[in-house]
């Protein structure tokens, strides 16, 4: 490909074809500038419903609306030239029926330009996934810990230990059979995640599911260290931008209060110097 050739965007068949190959790299993004940063290095940029907690300060993802996902989805699609945008379907937008799910999934895709959606649930959502994929909506599935079901699960706990392992395996196989092109495994024991990865022909994308998945996803704000008080076990901090930002804001505040900012170089003179004056 020449330097002037357009970049071909990643699409769902490309992700599915990566099964067992070079691990897939996935990060969330909720804005155009962050999407551009993610796009340069990742295969998928996920517009997660985590936006409700990360950006809007909600206590969980349950309060996220379609309008919020469309707003942030549009922003991310503008910044993603290569990496494939995937948009989460918010709680209450797909559980009622396959028809409801199609109306909202098609709206997300039409109003944002994203080529795929993600929804949570295994066996009980297989009929919906099949309905969507049969009608041209590529679906990334999500099993294990499903944050939208946090009240039913009893918290953000590991899912799939002991007797639960068979259920998570069944959920993963069900979404594959229904036509999902990939599946997120969240907070699943690493041995089980490895077994699921071997059992499926579609890629698994882990978050707190160990190294044997076909790819990994993290919330970008977590891995950049923007939240100094939030450190889940499965997140590795690749930077401490929260501390850097705090130091910078403190320095700005101190300079404003002391009168050292703005300095002369940050201000505009009353008149242009002679060399810059406009000639008549």
Active site members: 186
Which residues are registered as beta bridge partners of 88?
Answer: 118
- 12-240 folds as TIM Barrel (3.20.20)
Parallel, antiparallel or unpaired: strands 44-47 and 204-207: unpaired
**Residue 148: closest CA among 92, 101, 98, 193:** 92
Q: What is the pLDDT of residue 5?
A: 58
Maximum CA extent, the chain: 87
Domain range annotation of the chain: 12-240, 244-276
- Which residues are documented as binding site for Mg(2+)? 49, 88, 120
Considering only CA atoms, give the Rg of the chain: 22
- E-strand ranges in 63-125 read 84-88, 116-120
Token pair 């024991």: residue: 189
Burial class of residue 123 in the structure, from the number of CB atoms within 10 Å of its CB (0-12 exposed, 13-18 middle, 19+ buried): middle
Report mean pLDDT in 10-residue bins for the chain, 280 residues. Answer: 67 98 98 98 98 96 98 98 98 98 98 98 98 98 96 91 96 98 98 98 98 98 88 92 96 98 95 65
- Which residues are documented as binding site for 3-methyl-2-oxobutanoate? 49-50, 88, 118
For the whole model, what pTM was predicted? 0.93
Q: What is the pLDDT of residue 280?
A: 53
- Which residues are documented as binding site? 49-50, 88, 118, 120
185: left (phi over 0), alpha (psi -120 to 50) or beta: beta
């Amino acid at each position: 490909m020449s330097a002037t050739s357009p970049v071909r965007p990643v699409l769902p068949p490309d992700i599915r074809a990566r099964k067992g190959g070079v691990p897939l790299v996935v990060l969330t993004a909720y804005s155009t500038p962050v999407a551009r940063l993610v796009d340069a290095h990742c295969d998928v940029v996920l517009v997660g419903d985590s936006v409700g907690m990360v950006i809007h300060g909600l206590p969980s993802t349950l309060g996220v609306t379609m309008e919020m996902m469309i707003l942030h989805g549009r922003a991310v699609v503008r910044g993603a030239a290569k990496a494939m945008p995937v948009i989460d379907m918010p709680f209450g937008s797909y559980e009622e029926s396959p028809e409801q799910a199609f109306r909202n999934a098609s709206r997300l895709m039409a109003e944002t330009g994203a080529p795929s959606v993600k929804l949570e649930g295994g066996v009980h959502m297989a009929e919906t996934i099949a309905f969507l994929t049969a009608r041209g909506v590529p679906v990334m599935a999500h099993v294990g810990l499903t944050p939208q079901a946090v009240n039913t699960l009893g918290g953000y706990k590991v899912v799939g230990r002991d007797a639960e392992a068979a259920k998570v395996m069944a959920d993963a196989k069900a979404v594959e059979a229904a036509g999902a092109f990939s599946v997120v495994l969240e907070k699943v024991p690493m041995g089980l995640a490895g077994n699921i990865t071997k059992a499926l022909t579609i890629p698994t994308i882990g978050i707190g599911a160990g190294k044997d998945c076909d790819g990994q996803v993290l919330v970008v704000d977590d891995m950049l260290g923007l939240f100094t008080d939030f450190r889940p076990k499965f997140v590795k901090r690749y930077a401490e931008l929260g501390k850097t930002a705090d130091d910078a804001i403190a320095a700005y505040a101190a300079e404003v209060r002391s009168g050292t900012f703005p300095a002369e170089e940050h201000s505009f003179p009353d008149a242009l110097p002679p060399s810059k004056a406009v000639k008549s």
